[in-house]
A and B are shown apart, each in its own frame.
Chain A
């Protein structure tokens, strides 16, 4: 007899994702992913000036602020066929890279690591042995006995006080936890250090964007940064040097700590390369443009269907015609009115809340489909489409990860094994190390271009009277983000955001096809169904962030949030 388990909420940072699974013979036999909040914030944008849209979209989510700002200006620029000056492209790219590096570090250490690392094993570790092990894995200078001893003392203090504090929710001692005490200590010590480096990445965003968490420097047609090598208040060589120093430290942390830790966890949990695949259709858009017109990019995009890596279909531009035509949103199982799947430019957002019913409607997330098919988005999609195309940077870093996992655990990893829970973690680390390399490249490109005497940062937008449409895309930390805009008489007529977590957390569509979260959970073995750690591992591997997949309030009128002050 199948047993039903509900996990609500499931994310460590956002609380709007609910997962229901049916468990039969200690394995997941059916799954539903749902969002418990209404989405529809786009309606605020109707009638506003398209030049201001990015200020509003930046507030969709407090965690992924910059990505929505960027997709928004790109949507307007696409509608206007407006080119973006080189300096502006490089500055935007640097902001996107720094934001992504911050996001990937936070995701692994703050949100996911404790699914694999058992805090309560740490008191048994030997800091000297941990240091020896760490030195064999990485040249990181902070892998010292003293650092490990200090980290262990912190855990001991918390454990002996009986107040687990931040760790009170973990499934400690769960049979699916398998790292040795020394490896647990190693990972925890890096969890502590990660805070310093994620902050350095944010500082880069702050210097270029003039503020965080909400950047101020965007404008339709470019950026508003003043470039003047002789002015103390403008973007000058001193500031570029500050950015270089910060990036160097972040890059070192990515290469010597994050990348290595993910490979080590993968080597020690190699069976998770066989769990959690689900939807094997992948979508990624090209990003980090290298010219004003957007014809060349440092990150490749494309699609892979049915796990057929050799059959990859590459995209040449970030708003490829095939992509524009292929996207629709289905509401058969979402709390909205509507009969058939609609293209985002014609998208509607009419709430129809019925209460959770797994056979009918059960989520506030719409089901985006690509030529009718569910798609998985995120670092795994990006790495697979790049690898399949023979993209040198992607191949280089993927091969590095594969050989590192093999060196640590003697596990032979093939690209096909990346269709898995561990594959998503590995791909995120691969993408982070690609971005680390590109951070330094784009800073150099910007510095060189300024040194040539090019100070241009902005092209003036000109709006025609007739109706125009545009799509702005960004390959964000959680995957393909697209903003769809319709403009008439210089006003926004329609606006839809199809965000990464909408693709991945999508409910079933009219044909009954599962979304990626749901499909990835099927057949997952659970050691203790009442403590479904394995479900968390797979869902967390997607890096869920429901704030932008669906925002606002509980349909009953009661705010779901604001629990903190009761």
Chain B
């Protein structure tokens, strides 16, 4: 049994940045996971991310990525492994959470408590303006994002199954439009 964290990262008040927490809640309400797998809406934890990732065998993070910088169309799903993430210097601390991912992994490495396996499932965003809803392309990518997380679990040999009776979605920040998303059905 592996100690696995599936964490949604992002600010739910900033448009597509909320996709990480959205997917975390989606997974939690629709799937059951074997013991040892924890699903969490992490918000924008900055360096507190160290507290979340340390001591885990595997960390799967879901977060929005900049579609300009990645040259990806909004809604594109991009995968990054630990080595991809660690290539970046921690020097550029421009955001409450993203640069802290590198910092947190480097600190955890120094202290000998870093997860061996890290996967970041990135969703190219369309907009980050103040507001609680996801853009159309990002909504359309939700099935794929969920699929990537599940296939990573399969690769790791971690068991999961779809709930017979889905739990409450708990996406309180956009309750009014939750049925628009195909992944929810």
Contacts and interface: CB of A to CB of B under 8 A. Distances in A.
Does B associate with A? yes
Interface of A: 9, 11-16, 40-41, 43-44, 52, 55-56, 59-63, 65, 106, 110-111, 154, 158, 165-166, 168-169, 192, 195, 198-199, 202, 213-214, 547, 551-553, 558-566
B128 A552 contact: yes
B90 A62 contact: no
B179 interface: no
A520 B80 CA distance: 42
Contacts of B129: 552-553
Given A14-B93, A168-B90, A547-B96, A559 B66 contact: yes
Contacts of A154: 110-112
A547 to B, nearest CB: 4
Contact of A198 (B13, B51, B111): B51
Given A560-B94, A560-B95, 16 more contacts: A14-B93, A14-B95, A14-B96, A15-B92, A15-B95, A61-B96, A62-B42, A110-B107, A154-B112, A168-B89, A169-B90, A198-B51, A213-B43, A213-B48, A214-B41, A565-B122
Given A106-B47, A166-B107, A564-B99, A16 B70 contact: no
A165 B109 contact: yes
B141 interface: no
Contacts of A559: 66, 68-69, 125, 128
B73 interface: no
A134 B97 CA distance: 35
Interface in B93-139: 93-103, 106-107, 109-112, 120, 122, 125, 128-132
Chain B contact residues: helix, strand, loop or mixed: mixed
B23 interface: no
B146 interface: no
Contact of A551 (B11, B64, B69, B102): B11
Nearest to B100: A13
Q: Which of B50, B69, B130 has the most CB of A within 10 A?
A: B130
Nearest to B12: A59
B93 A566 contact: no
Contacts of A44: 13, 130-132
Interface residues of B, number: 57
A14 B97 CA distance: 8
Given A13-B46, A41-B13, A44-B132, A563 B95 contact: yes
Contacts of B131: 44
A60 B11 CA distance: 8
B99 A563 contact: yes
Contacts of B69: 559, 562-563, 565-566
In this complex, the member of B45, B95, B99, B101 whose beta carbon has the largest number of chain A beta carbons within 10 angstroms is B95
A166 B43 contact: no
Contacts of A169: 89-91
A292 to B, nearest CB: 29
B110 A158 contact: yes
Interface in B44-87: 44-48, 50-51, 54, 64-66, 68-70, 78, 80, 84-85
Interface string B143-183: 00000000000000000000000000000110000000000
B43 A214 contact: yes
A547 B17 CA distance: 14
B14 interface: yes
Contacts of A214: 41, 43
A15 B94 contact: yes
B90 A16 contact: no
B84 A565 contact: yes
B2 interface: no
Contacts of A56: 13, 173
Contact of A63 (B46, B110, B128): B46
A61 B48 CA distance: 12
Contacts of B65: 562, 565
Contacts of B95: 14-15, 560-564
A114 to B, nearest CB: 12
A270 B58 CA distance: 45
B88 to A, nearest CB: 6
Contacts of A192: 111
Contacts of B109: 165-166
